[in-house]
């Protein structure tokens, strides 16, 4: 094997195993893993290192290589150079396809034929689609109150759906229980280190596009931070003589554990209220520390915005730039003004924003 699993807490390394999802050391309290390679990257080619025995085993449903466009009206309005990376142009309409393709490809290499996952939306749809493509049976646990459109998409691809009443965490507990009872790998997009390795392709594409003039800032809507972490890993791994953009994490003010972690405040999972930005509403993100570390390592910031601001920006994006972003993906734009006011972003700087999901995933309720 050319790679190992490494616990983010004790730093011990383990041989890769699809059934090993968190660290077994008692003091580590189920800490998550990341993948570390025992081979070096080939900087000349500028391609991500991938955790597969053979790169031909990477499932290709057309994920990645999403367009980067300049947002002219908003650039003028804010006196910035704002670029959008259209992640909704991935096969299932969200960036999650980058992670799913890698995770499912790795599981297939291990001979896995059946998986268990819990998701309230985009990751579930993505994993369901990639499972269908690669003839894998998938059991997806969703909260009973998950958005109907998202659940319909998961179901359409042929996954077996389990609707679990109660808070979001109940779906996770049920999925873990089911996986243990049936000896099936719990293939959580929030926990799997393979998922993050897939999202690295985002960072490589940005590096290749901007070459010697990388953006000053990349602003991410963040739930568990997989795109933020993958992007940073890409910049570190590519090891080019370029400036790493400041990585900013945006959350909903109703539910912002990563902002709390970054601010070194105590997050109490009971202190939350429902948010319209369901794609970034994760009460206990397993990669909360890792996400906050990426923000501080790149001298970025972690900021929360209100639901009203998010709703307003979904409309502004559509009407000023013709972009129909998923409500969650509009949160980043709601943060720009605050960041300028606090001197986090200065006039004329360049800003890249991933539009992480497509608007029809969870259409606005106030339009007919």
* CB closer to Zn ion, 9 vs 320: 9
Find residue 5's DSSP bridge partners: 14, 35
Least separation in angstroms between residue 209's CB and Zn ion is 37
Nearer to Zn ion by Cβ, of 23 and 228: the residue is 23
Shortest CB 328 distance to Zn ion, Å? 31
Helices and strands in the chain: count of H runs, count of E runs: 11, 12
* CA gap 117, 58 in Å, rounded: 20
We find the least distance from the C-beta atom of residue 1 to Zn ion, in angstroms, to be: 19
> Which residues of the chain form contacts with Zn ion (CB under 5 A)?
7, 9-10, 23, 25, 28
CB of 20: closest distance to Zn ion in angstroms? 11
Among candidates 81, 262, 99, which has minimal Cα distance to 196?
A: 99
Nearer CB in complex with Zn ion: 31/109: 31
Question: Cβ of residue 109: shortest distance to Zn ion, in angstroms?
Answer: 24
The helix (H) or strand (E) run that includes residue 308 is helix 307-321
How far is the C-alpha of 34 from the C-alpha of 16, rounded, in Å?
Answer: 11
Q: How many residues does the chain have?
A: 368
Provide the phi-psi class of 225: left if phi over 0, else alpha when psi is between -120 and 50, else beta.
Answer: left
Query: Which tokens in the block code for residue 157?
Result: 């691809």
Residue 98 CB contacts under 8 Å (≥ 6 apart), including other chains? 63, 64, 90, 198, 199, 201, 202, 227, 230
- Tell me the three state secondary structure of residue 252: strand
Write down the least CB distance from residue 59 to Zn ion, Å: 30
Q: How far apart are CA 363 and CA 182, in angstroms?
A: 36
**Shortest Cβ 5–Zn ion spacing (Å):** 10
Residue nearer to Zn ion on the CB measure, 6 or 170: 6
CB 142 within 8 A of CB 151: yes
188/298 with CB nearer Zn ion: 188
- In the complex with Zn ion, the residue whose CB is nearer, 27 or 39, is 27
Q: Which CB, 23 or 184, lies closer to Zn ion?
A: 23
């Amino acid at each position: 094997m050319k790679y190992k699993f490494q616990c983010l807490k004790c730093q011990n390394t383990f041989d890769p195993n699809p059934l090993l999802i968190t660290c077994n050391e008692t003091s580590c309290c189920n800490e998550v893993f990341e993948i570390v390679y025992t081979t070096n990257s080939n900087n000349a080619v500028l391609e991500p290192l991938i955790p597969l025995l053979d790169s031909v085993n990477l499932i290709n449903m057309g994920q990645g290589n999403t367009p980067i466009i300049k947002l002219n009206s908003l650039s003028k309005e804010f006196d910035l150079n704002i670029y959008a990376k259209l992640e909704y142009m991935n096969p299932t309409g969200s960036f999650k396809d980058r992670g799913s393709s890698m995770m499912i490809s790795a599981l297939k290499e291990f001979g896995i034929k059946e998986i268990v996952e819990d998701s309230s939306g985009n990751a579930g749809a993505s994993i369901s689609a990639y499972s269908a493509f690669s003839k894998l049976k998938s059991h997806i646990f969703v909260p009973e109150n998950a958005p109907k459109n998202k659940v319909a998409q998961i179901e359409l691809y042929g996954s077996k759906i389990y609707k679990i009443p109660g808070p979001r965490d109940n779906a996770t507990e049920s999925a873990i229980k089911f996986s243990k009872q049936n000896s099936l790998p719990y293939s959580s997009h929030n926990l799997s280190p393979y998922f993050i390795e897939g999202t690295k392709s985002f960072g490589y594409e940005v590096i290749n596009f901007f070459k010697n003039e990388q953006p000053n800032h990349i602003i991410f809507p963040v739930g568990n931070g997989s795109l933020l972490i993958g992007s940073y890993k890409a910049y570190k791994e590519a090891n080019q003589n370029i400036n790493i953009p400041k990585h900013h994490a945006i959350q909903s003010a109703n539910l912002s554990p990563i902002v709390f972690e970054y601010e070194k405040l105590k997050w109490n999972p009971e202190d939350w209220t429902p948010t319209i930005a369901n794609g970034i509403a994760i009460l206990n993100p397993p990669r909360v520390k890792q996400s906050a570390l990426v923000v501080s390592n790149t001298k970025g910031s972690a900021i929360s915005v209100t639901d009203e601001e998010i709703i307003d920006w979904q409309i502004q994006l559509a009407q000023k730039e013709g972009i129909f972003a998923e409500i969650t993906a509009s949160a980043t734009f709601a943060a720009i003004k605050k960041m300028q006011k606090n001197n986090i972003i200065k006039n004329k700087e360049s800003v890249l924003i991933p539009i992480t999901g497509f608007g029809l995933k969870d259409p606005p309720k106030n339009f007919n």
